[in-house]
Amino acid sequence: MTDERREMMPGPGTQTERDAAEETERAATMNDRISVGSGDENVAKIQLASRWAEQHAPDTGDTLDEMLRRFKRAYNYVDSVTKLVDPDE
């Protein structure tokens, strides 16, 4: 008596496992930005503002002052949205 379920399940090293491993590696390579995920709302706001400032940085010629201004604008916006108030212009 043979177990048909056993024959249908892919074994270790199959194409499916290799595809999954390659996809995971590709996603890790593409996602080298600051992650957003925290149980603390304030930390999540900082992470989100950091990601926004990083995402919208110019390709060349960026300074720390410009990055800080982008971060502050993003943080103030996120903070005002979470508090349901209009952001300062």
Q: Which two tokens stand for residue 73?
A: 């604008």
pTM confidence score: 0.57
Of residues 61 and 35, the one with the higher pLDDT is: 61
Looking at the domain assignment, is residue 13 inside a domain?
no
What pLDDT is attached to residue 71? 96
Looking at the domain assignment, is residue 40 inside a domain?
yes
Looking at the domain assignment, is residue 85 inside a domain?
yes
Length of the chain: 89
Whether the predicted pLDDT of 26 surpasses 90: no
Cα–Cα distance, 60 to 2 (Å, whole number): 64
Give me the chain's average pLDDT, please: 77
What pLDDT is attached to residue 23? 65
How much of the chain exceeds pLDDT 70, in percent? 58
What pLDDT is attached to residue 79? 93
Looking at the domain assignment, is residue 25 inside a domain?
no
Whether the predicted pLDDT of 13 surpasses 70: no
Domain that holds residue 70: 35-89
If one counts the domains in the chain, the total is: 1
Of residues 65 and 39, the one with the higher pLDDT is: 65
Of residues 10 and 77, the one with the higher pLDDT is: 77
